[in-house]
Structure 1
Amino acid sequence: MPADQELAGRTALVTGAGRGIGEAVARALVARGARVVATDLAPEGVGKLAQEYAGRLTARTLDVTDAGAVEALVAETEDTLGPLDITVNVAGILRSSSVVELTDEDWAATFDVNTHGVFHVSRAVARRMAERGSGSVVTVASNAAGVPRMGMSAYAASKAAAVMFTKCLGLEVAARGVRCNTVSPGSTLTDMQRALWTASDAEGEEAAARRVVAGDLATHRTGIPLGRIADPDDIAEAVAFLASDRARHITMHDLYVDGGATLRA
């Protein structure tokens, strides 16, 4: 089958699609023939995608922390576009802080989006997929879910919870023909990554990226063996594979896309 028809006739929901990895995922699914409902808390990014892919992509504003709003959007999507075949959880936030300085508000906000949001969306779609006997859920997590990171406790813990939740969901719905997997990126050139680069990086983005690739002994970070930071498209390709029939016998898998940065520890 031609690559641009791999997902023809299928409908996909993507959260956090306004920029970065989520935008790349939405584009990758459209390029493979899927009809995509692209959602984000901010409407601008998904609105631009809807203009670019008129007739193939629908933009919706969605707060994944609102269980009622999630349920309503999933119901509306299935009523208007038909059954959801694919769902990709990308919406996420990062609040960087040492544990002793981390506020209750930042901890709660991180889990609200990164964990509770994944639960709300996955629950809504998995129930319907299981009734039909088919479907694929992919959650974008992080390699920080498996390897400790300084200053990222809330993010790492929320992503670890999302990974295990997705595996448990996958086990429960496997007999009904629904597959649930996670993709765990490492450092990826997104706004979230750039936000980690401080004002001390006066020499610019390229120099900051080189430091990430080289690693940092002081913060116990290994470098990236493949010698480059990922592009959002690198993550989107992995997501598209797991969503497709090429991965029809893969479920409850956590696919690291980090250039070897964690040494698979």
Structure 2
Amino acid sequence: MELTGIESTVALVTGAAQGIGAAVAGVLAGAGAHVAAVDRNAEALATVVTKLEAEGVTARGYGVDVCDSAAVDALVRRVEDELGPIGILVNAAGVLHTARVVELSDRQWSETFSVNATGVFHLSRAVARRMIPRRRGAIVTVASNAAGVPRTEMAAYAASKAASAHFTRCLGLELADYGIRCNVVSPGSTDTPMLRAMLGEDGDPRQVIEGSPAAYKVGIPLRKVAQPRDVAEAVAYLVSDQAGHVTMHDLYVDGGAALHV
């Protein structure tokens, strides 16, 4: 199925310097979108943008911290001045701090929510204000299957992703009158720097696939870890015309790991 409605549309993608965000930027650019790639890691972002430009697609990098409300508002103004009206927003920026709750620091909790939840609010608010008068647009937030399944040592991450997912559904309800669709993609274990950092240098992806009864975590029924592009393709579908009657939906892309109903 060929996806339509993406070509020539300005797509702002956060967390685009690596992992799922970089894959989303690549997939949307490959579908003809004019991608505004956003990340606070300007050096890594430049590498991603250079690669995309070498592939002959349209992408421009913007080094911005999504936690900074004023900077986000300025970013959205600049993107629309330079590339045109934003028709697609993908909130893919995220951080992960793992620790048992009794050992979790204030800084770890605060940073997790600042990026994973407040950052989504900042971008969504700024972009929605501009989409409303145009009465069109699509917003997707990349959350996590951990938002719906308790995980040991992941309380801050899971709670922040649950917040961002439910925020996005509430936003979708408010924006439905304007024809603006808001959806969520919830990945499971995905082969990204975040997962590799969590597993450690000697970590084996097979332990993720098999699960951990001691941690009350089931494995992955499809017997494989997702690739970033698997998640990016789901995002592309949700922002396309083919999902034109889909809003406030949470699409799990986790190989069945959450046993999601």
Q: TM-score range by the shorter chain?
A: over 0.9
State the partner residue of 1:37.
Answer: 36
CA distance in 2, matches of 1:129, 1:62: 21
3-state secondary structure, aligned to 2:256: coil
Letter in 2 for 1:26: A
CA distance in 1, matches of 2:136, 2:5: 16
CA distance in 2, matches of 1:8, 1:257: 24
For each residue in 1:181-208, what CA deviation from the matched residue of structure 2 results, as whole angstroms up to 9, or x when unmatched? 0000000000110111135x3xxx5xx1
State the partner residue of 1:263.
Answer: 259
1:2 to 1:247, Cα distance in 2 relative to 1, 3 A: closer
Structure 1 position 236 matched with structure 2 position 238: no
Q: What stretches of structure 1 move > 3 A for 4+ residues in a row? A: none
Q: 2:174 aligns with which of 172, 182, 197?
A: 172
In the TM superposition, what are the counterparts of 1:1-265 in structure 2 within 5 Å? 7-54=6-53, 56-198=58-200, 201=202, 208-264=204-260
Q: Is the 8 A contact 1:49 1:57 kept in 2?
A: no
Shifted more, 218-227 versus 51-60: the winner is 51-60
How many residues were matched structurally?
258
3-state secondary structure, aligned to 1:60: strand
Q: CA deviation at 1:176?
A: 0.3
Q: TM-score, normalised by structure 2?
A: 0.96
Q: CA deviation at 1:2?
A: 5.3
Q: CA RMSD in A?
A: 1.3
CA distance in 2, matches of 1:257, 1:19: 18
Letter in 2 for 1:57: A
Q: CA deviation at 1:225?
A: 0.2
CA distance in 2, matches of 1:261, 1:52: 33
For each residue in 1:190-237, what CA deviation from the matched residue of structure 2 results, as whole angstroms up to 9, or x when unmatched? 0110111135x3xxx5xx111110111000000000000000000000
CA distance in 1, matches of 2:74, 2:228: 29
1:169 to 1:2, Cα distance in 2 relative to 1, 3 A: closer
CA distance in 2, matches of 1:72, 1:123: 13
3-state secondary structure, aligned to 2:167: helix
Shifted more, 89-98 versus 39-48: the winner is 39-48
Q: Is the 8 A contact 1:18 1:46 kept in 2?
A: yes
Q: Is the 8 A contact 1:30 1:36 kept in 2?
A: yes
Q: CA deviation at 1:90?
A: 0.5
Q: Is the 8 A contact 1:6 1:32 kept in 2?
A: no
Letter in 2 for 1:111: F
CA distance in 2, matches of 1:249, 1:219: 39
